[in-house]
Every structure is written in C-alpha cells, then in structure tokens.
Amino acid sequence: MELIKFVRNYSDHSTDRGFQFEFNCDRCGTGYRTPFLASTTGVVTEVLDVASGLFGGILGRAASVSDRVHSAAWERSHDNAFRKSVEVARPRFEQCPRCSQWVCKESCWNPDLGLCKGCAPDEEAEFAAAQAEARISKGREVIAETDYLSADDKKRLKSETVVAKCPNCGAALATRAKFCPECGQAIEAEKHCTECGAKIKRSTKFCPECGAKQEI
C-alpha cells in the first residue's frame, strides 16, 4: 500500500464536486491554492448522506462535506487529488532542517545557508534594518538634545490644552484660533495654572488657587 506524503501547512477546500487545497508558508503565511480538480466520480450522487438512524438524524438536510460519508470512489479521487496537489505545491516550499517549518522560497528561504530566514536571517536585510534603526535612534537623541521651543512656548504648551476642532460645528481649527472659521463661534481653549495646574479662565491674571501670575 502506497503512503501519501502529507504536510502540515495546508487546508482542504474540497467539496462534493471536486478538490482544492491551499498551502501556506509557516513563517510569513504566503499561500498558494491549487486549481480546482473536478471529482472523477462526476456527480454529487457519489456522496452518501449519513444515515438518519445511525448518526444523529441529519438525513434530509444539507450536510457539509465533514458531515457526510463518501463513496470509496470519491475517497480515492480525493487522495489522488491531494497527492497531485502536494507535488504541484512542493517546488514552492522548503522544509527547514533546523526548525522543520515549511517556508516559501520566495521570501523566507535562505538558499546560501540552506535554512529558513527565521533560523538564518538574510545578512543584507539585517544590516539594512540595523542601519535604519541606528539612524532613527540617533535622530531621537538629536531631537531630545535640541531646544526648539522658546521659554514662552514651553510655558504656553504647559498651561494650555490646544483645541483641534470647533466644539460647536466640528470644523478643524488653526493653532490657537480664537474664533471658528466656519461658524464664527468663539473658541475657549482650556487653560491651567502654570504653577499648581488648576483649571482657570483664559482671562485670569492670577490663579485663584495659588495666586501665581498668569500670562494672558
């Protein structure tokens, strides 16, 4: 009896009328679906519904393939279709000898080392990623060390909550807009004391909580 070599990275999309399988890369998920192969038995009548009295009383309703007992001819056709599909999909994949994953040759296989890229990452890709990360990290350091804001701007940003849209009509607002350009509604951005953080009115000169002088 000939055994059918099978793989774990597949799903069966076969129906009563034919056979189709999908094979996916264990690493990136890239998939390949084989062409639909019509059943050589030809008709749905080769599929026998599960007997009502024996298997839960599903006779008389539309059962899925998993709920049905198939004819021997259909099962042989299914096995042959699966065997052919494995052979068709096989050239698209490699099985890593280190982690045993089936990976696609297109993106996840390192042919120079004979391992998947999870076990043997592509050096050029890793170097490029490392360089990009280094530039980003350096940029963050430069930004952190650079003083772009004046003392007044820092105080304003600390004390005010900038309103991005009009609370009346929802229109987008320019920075520190006093009136909405769409509906004319006066915009009252929230303001907080620069010393104690208490919420105060925009026109307040001295904080009623701590007495600190406020910038108008």
Query: Do the Cβ atoms of 115 and 103 come closer than 8 Å?
Result: no
In this predicted structure, what is the pLDDT of residue 95? Answer: 92
**For the chain, how many helices (H) and strands (E)?**
3, 14
Q: Count CB atoms within 10 A of the CB of residue 33.
A: 14
Q: Is the per-residue pLDDT at 115 higher than 80?
A: yes
Work out the mean pLDDT of the chain and round it to a whole number. Answer: 76
The helix/strand/coil state of 111 is: coil
pLDDT band at 128 (very low <50, low <70, confident <90, very high): confident
Condensed to tens digits (0 to 9), the pLDDT of residues 142-176 reads: 656 666 656 666 555 555 555 567 777 877 776 56
In this predicted structure, what is the pLDDT of residue 21? Answer: 94
Question: Measured between alpha carbons, how far is 216 from 195 in angstroms, rounded to an integer?
Answer: 15
Decide which of 98 and 46 is more confident: 98
Decide which of 103 and 180 is more confident: 103
- Extended beta strands in 122-185, E state: 160-161
Condensed to tens digits (0 to 9), the pLDDT of residues 173-196 reads: 765 677 788 888 777 656 777 777
Which residues pair with residue 190 across a beta bridge? 161
In this predicted structure, what is the pLDDT of residue 63? Answer: 44
pLDDT band at 27 (very low <50, low <70, confident <90, very high): very high
Side chain identity at 24, as an amino acid letter? N
- How far from 189 is each of 109, 168, 172, 204, CA to CA, in Å? 56, 13, 14, 13
Q: Is the per-residue pLDDT at 94 higher than 50?
A: yes
pTM of structure: 0.50
Condensed to tens digits (0 to 9), the pLDDT of residues 1-24 reads: 677 766 678 999 998 888 999 999
